[in-house]
Amino acid sequence: MSILLKNIKELLQVRPEAPNMIRGYDMRKLPTLTDAWLLCEGDEIVDFGSMDTCPESSEAQSIDCSGQIVLPSWCDSHTHLVYAGNREQEFVDRINGLSYQEIAAKGGGIVNSAETLQHTSEEALYEQSANRLQEVIQLGTGAIEIKSGYGLTTAAEVKMLRVAKRLEETFGITVRRTFLGAHAVPKDFKNYKNGYIDLLINEMLPQVAEEQLAHYVDVFCESGYFSVADTERILEAAARFELIPKIHVNQFNSIGGVGVGVAHNALSVDHLEVLEAEDIEALQGSQTIPVALPSCSFFLGIPYTPGRKLIDNGLPLALATDYNPGSSPSGNMNFVVASACIKMNLSPEEAINAATINGAYAMGLSETHGSITPGKRANLIITKPIPSYGFLPYAFGSNLIDRVILNGTLQ
């Protein structure tokens, strides 16, 4: 099956030879081609060019994209999309004055979601998660990372990762799976955190590895959750199973998580709403990409990650949704791109680079995703007719997507 997109008003993120990620000042540049065509064959991008070189193809399904912009699908490198139930009561509690931390201290938060998930069958968990995945695919997401971490028992953590695996098999979208057993200390281990870490290292990790359920390991490195020393212990154990770190750091406090992530060759360090000079220093010269999650800041009313500062210091930046029931019940990458421009002062070019090619890097998918490059996956967003790509973040509340193509197939 071939698809030929014709008369594309502007084709974005055109990179005949794509770098694996983009840093600093280079993020301001978004290569584009106006009045373009793009040919996909099977699940791959084959070629593109300007309309005066458009090939004749009788075999390909031809789509007229007059007035429309085409770009690579969003790469959402940080989600907790597999979860059970919701936490709208906690949302209302926050409106009435309780803080996120106060709710967690009362037994709400992550352990609340874990209790619900433990009592949800694998089938029901799959159904709920499949609905969310279907929604985000229509919103333009073409590759996604999904974490465990709402199980907090071996059986429930494994259940989450199996569901994430089945989602990839069913929907065909590339799913990178991350083991986040260290998301919170479960109630049974309330005063015995080390006992939980022992269980995580001696039972959960070996089983996750045995079933090849995860590509990455994550830890919520934060005051009241897992310390830097806990994080180190877990990352070292995970390294024995070849699990690369992608970790939650600096959401509420800067306690040294960035440094520990970089020291353990983390692929990404995520959140960074609180950022100190030493965190920026730790990231300089590393291969670890910072990931900002502006929907979480929006929903919790906490500071936005100083993305401008990270980029101005020559660092790369990726953007992701953090889709989860407690701090970001939205998997909408379009909103993420818009809020990065509106609240973090990124230019549209920077935000689009952060949500495509840099998002791919933050999932280890730079070779196959995140840019319009021959040989890469044919994962595309076709917008509605819009005046320019700056309109995408500008008209932040509108759905501006006309069609999406996933693995060379119109959805």
Q: Which residues bind ligand NIG (CB under 6 A)?
A: 109-110, 113, 220, 248, 251, 296, 322, 324-327
For residue 365, give the nearest of 18, 32, 132 by alpha carbon: 18
- Contact residues for 312 (Cβ-Cβ < 8 A; gap 6+): 24
CB of 123 to ligand NIG, least distance (A): 22
CB of 316 to Fe ion, least distance (A): 19
Q: Give, rounded to a whole angstrom, the gap between the first and last alpha carbons of the chain.
A: 14
Q: Which is nearer to ligand NIG, 73 or 113 (CB)?
A: 113
CB of 251 to Fe ion, least distance (A): 8
Helix (H, G, I), strand (E, B), or coil: what is residue 236?
A: helix
Q: Which is nearer to ligand NIG, 37 or 220 (CB)?
A: 220
Interface segment toward Fe ion; rule CB under 5 A; list 87-95, 255-263, 320-328, 354-362: 320-328
For residue 144, give the nearest of 362, 392, 329 by alpha carbon: 362
Residue 256, binding choice from ligand NIG, Fe ion, none, Cβ under 5 to 8 Å by partner class:
none
Q: Which helix (DSSP H) or strand (DSSP E) does residue 145 occupy?
A: strand 141-147
Q: Report the residue closest to ligand NIG, judged by CB.
A: 326
The secondary structure of residue 203, as a DSSP letter, is I
Q: Which is nearer to Fe ion, 273 or 322 (CB)?
A: 322
Residue 327, binding choice from Fe ion, ligand NIG, none, Cβ under 5 to 8 Å by partner class:
ligand NIG
- What is the per-residue DSSP string for 377-392? B--EEEEEE-S-TTHH
Q: Which is nearer to ligand NIG, 87 or 264 (CB)?
A: 87
Residue 325, binding choice from Fe ion, ligand NIG, none, Cβ under 5 to 8 Å by partner class:
ligand NIG
Residue 113, binding choice from ligand NIG, Fe ion, none, Cβ under 5 to 8 Å by partner class:
ligand NIG
CB of 196 to Fe ion, least distance (A): 19
Q: Which is nearer to ligand NIG, 69 or 103 (CB)?
A: 103
The secondary structure of residue 324, as a DSSP letter, is B
Residue 296, binding choice from ligand NIG, Fe ion, none, Cβ under 5 to 8 Å by partner class:
ligand NIG
Number of residues that bind Fe ion (CB under 5 A): 1
Q: With contact defined as beta carbons under 8 Å apart, do 341 and 351 qualify? A: yes
Residue 373, binding choice from Fe ion, ligand NIG, none, Cβ under 5 to 8 Å by partner class:
none
Is there binding between residue 322 and Fe ion (CB under 5 A)? yes
Provide the token pair at 347.
């230019």
Name beta bridge partners: 383. Answer: 401
CB of 80 to Fe ion, least distance (A): 6
Q: Which is nearer to ligand NIG, 80 or 264 (CB)?
A: 80
For residue 295, give the nearest of 257, 260, 339 by alpha carbon: 339
Residue 110, binding choice from Fe ion, ligand NIG, none, Cβ under 5 to 8 Å by partner class:
ligand NIG
Residue 339, binding choice from ligand NIG, Fe ion, none, Cβ under 5 to 8 Å by partner class:
none
For residue 350, give the nearest of 323, 310, 303 by alpha carbon: 310
CB of 237 to ligand NIG, least distance (A): 20
What are residue 274's phi and psi, to 5 degrees?
-110, 125
The sign of the dihedral angle between the CA atoms of 55, 58, 62, 67 is: positive
What are residue 131's phi and psi, to 5 degrees?
-60, -40
Interface segment toward Fe ion; rule CB under 5 A; list 136-144, 300-308, 317-325, 381-389: 317-325
Q: Which is nearer to ligand NIG, 248 or 377 (CB)?
A: 248
CB of 113 to ligand NIG, least distance (A): 5
Q: Which is nearer to ligand NIG, 74 or 225 (CB)?
A: 225
CB of 97 to ligand NIG, least distance (A): 18
For residue 133, give the nearest of 77, 75, 72, 82 by alpha carbon: 82
Q: Which is nearer to ligand NIG, 147 or 403 (CB)?
A: 147
Contacts 24+ apart (CB under 8 A), 286-290: 286/262, 288/261, 288/262, 289/21, 289/316, 289/317, 289/318, 289/358, 289/361, 289/362, 290/315, 290/316, 290/317, 290/318
Q: Which residues bind Fe ion (CB under 5 A)?
A: 322
